[in-house]
Each structure stands twice: as structure tokens, then as C-alpha cells.
Amino acid sequence: MTAIKNDLFLRALKGETVERPPVWMMRQAGRYLPEFMALKKKYDFFTRCRTPELASEITVQPIDIIGPDAAILFSDILVIPQAMNIEVEMKDGIGPWLPNPIRSLKDVEQVIVPDVHEELGYVMDAIKLTKERLDNRVPLIGFAGSPWTILCYAVQGQGSKNFDKAKELCFTQPEAAHQLLQKITDTTIAYLKAKVATGVNAVQVFDSWGGMLSPVDYQEFSWKYIQQIIDALKDETQVIVFGKGCWFALQDMAKSGAAALGVDWTCSARNARYLTGGNITLQGNFDPSRLLSPPAEIKKMVKQMIDEFGKDRYIANLGHGILPNIPVENAQAFVDAVKEYQG
């Protein structure tokens, strides 16, 4: 394999000393980019995911336009339940829509653990094409949702403020919930392994709804399964775990074998460093809404953020996905500020 020209991101994941921290933005291929909107108008969501030419073009757009230090493959966490025989639609204005949500043990029994090469071969094709288009300029990140976060959608059937039906399944039919979580975990492990074998340079697990659970329930319904994923992947690639609202779990996460941990903006750099023992690479945690501030202010805040986390063992990022209403020049200011960083 040819060496990647800009390997700052991979070096930061390994904990090496770097000239400046690397930077990328969660959901960097998204609706704030006019080039993304042009393709969104022409093709529906899952067509964009399933067509390697489109997925790779969308993945590379932010690299060409904004210039972050890593690319993340355009896809969605919900391609996993789709491949498991759970129907998933993406509705404009609503978001994910699952017409037949899982509500019982009987429903769970209908869920399959698929052959990922057969059902998700289009993702592997998108990776191959994206690697060609990137031409080793920057590393490529592959991702999956955490089993808990996938269960949230599979059971609730759509986005939610509290995912009450997902929690209800866990607390009233724990056996069904655990069977479902294990099926999702097994699929996710095979999926991420296939992605690594196809060429992604690191993987991120998104536990977007982990913060919905109490610390005790988090261990039982989310963390246990993420740990299985880390154990299965950590000898093959670097694993980043991003748990939104999961600062309470950072201590356990730091001992898990993950290469890096994502932090959201409600947890200070100091607290995150304290909880994780100061030795692991942290990623985050700019409030996505703060990208609405004027560029000069964004730059000042980014410098402050890096000073607080420290330049080493750190990957500059947002604390969650970029919002659709962010001006492109503000996203540019965020990335530029990291690139211009001088301790």
C-alpha cells in the first residue's frame, strides 16, 4: 500500500507528537455544502449511499472544498438495519422512517445477520472508488452506529427526543433487546472488518444516543456491545468511539482498547482529560452551533480549544455533526484555524 501523504490524523491516533493537531468535521459531507445539495436534488438519500460513484464524489467534496485532514465515507448508520431485513426509508423533513419497527421477541427473530459482502457490497465498492479519488491525499474513515443507537431507530421507528419505545423494549423485554443488540453487534463487526479489509484507515463508532441511558443502563445496553466491537477490531485498525452525552463513561472507555474517544461540547477538555487519565487521544468538541459565530471569533475559540486539549493526542472536530445552516466560510474558518495553530 502506498503511504498516505497527509498522515497527521493517523499519527494523532497513535499518540505520536505532531506539528499541529489534525482536523475533520463529523458530517462534513452534508447539507451546508452547495455541491452536496446539487446532488441531493437529483438523487434520493439511499441512491446516493448505494451508488459508489455518488457516494465517493460526496465523500471527496469536503476534501476538495474545505481541506480537512481526513475523509469520512458518505453513507449512513442505518444501512446496517436495512441489511438485517429491517426496512428503512429516509423522509425529507422527518429523517429516518422505519415502517415496521421491532417491538417483540418475535420481531427480533425475523432480523437476520446478513452476509455483509452480499448485502453491503456497494459500501465496499464505494470505498474502493473513494480510495482512488483520494489518491492517498488523506486517510479514509469508515464508520458504524453503536448497537444501542441502531436499536433506538429499529425499535422507535424514527428519530425521537427520548426514544421511549426503545427504552421500553429494554426494560420490559430485556431478552428481546439483548438478542437484537447481539445480532446488530455481530453484523457490525463483520461490516467494519470488511471495510478495513477493503481499505479504510480507521473506524468510528457513533453512539449518538448513548446519553439517553443512565450510567448503569449504559453499561448493560450500550457499552458491553461497543466493547465487543473494539475487541474484534482493535488489532486490525484504530477504533474511535464517539458517545454523545456519554462523558460519564469516559473512564471505562479509556481502558477499552479504543485508539481515541470523541467528546461533545458539554464536557470540558479538562474534565475529559481528567476522566480518561491523560494518555488517550481525544476528539472534539466544538459546539456545532458555534460555527454560526463570525469567522474571527471561531478562529479565536478554536485556538483556545486546542490550548485546552493540548496539541498532542488530540484531533480537532465538532462535538457532533455540522448543521445544515452553517455558512461554508465558517466551516472553512474552523478548519483553517486548526491548520494555522501554533502553540
Is the Cβ of residue 158 or residue 173 nearer to ligand CP3 in the bound state? 158
CB of 191 to ligand CP3, least distance (A): 14
CB of 76 to ligand CP3, least distance (A): 4
| DSSP secondary structure string for all residues of 230-276 | HHHHTTTSEEEEEETT-GGGHHHHHTTT-SEEEE-TTS-HHHHHHHH
Is the Cβ of residue 57 or residue 273 nearer to ligand CP3 in the bound state? 57
Note whether 163 and 152 are within 8 A (CB). Answer: yes
Is the Cβ of residue 72 or residue 273 nearer to ligand CP3 in the bound state? 72
Residue number closest to ligand CP3, CB atom: 208
Is the Cβ of residue 77 or residue 282 nearer to ligand CP3 in the bound state? 77
CB of 44 to ligand CP3, least distance (A): 8
CB of 235 to ligand CP3, least distance (A): 24
Q: How far is CA 133 from CA 40, 54, 56, 61, 256, in A?
A: 20, 12, 8, 10, 34
For 293, the grid coordinates are 459565530
CB of 242 to ligand CP3, least distance (A): 8
Is the Cβ of residue 143 or residue 309 nearer to ligand CP3 in the bound state? 143
CB of 282 to ligand CP3, least distance (A): 18
Note whether 69 and 22 are within 8 A (CB). Answer: yes
Name the residue with cell 485532514. 69
Is the Cβ of residue 24 or residue 341 nearer to ligand CP3 in the bound state? 24
Cβ-Cβ contacts under 8 Å for 49 (sequence gap 6 or more): 55, 74, 75, 76, 79, 122, 123
Question: What sections of 25-112 are H helices per DSSP?
Answer: 34-42, 45-50, 52-65, 79-83, 105-110
Q: Which residues bind ligand CP3 (CB under 6 A)?
A: 26-30, 40, 45, 72, 74, 76-78, 90, 95-96, 143, 145, 159, 206, 208, 321
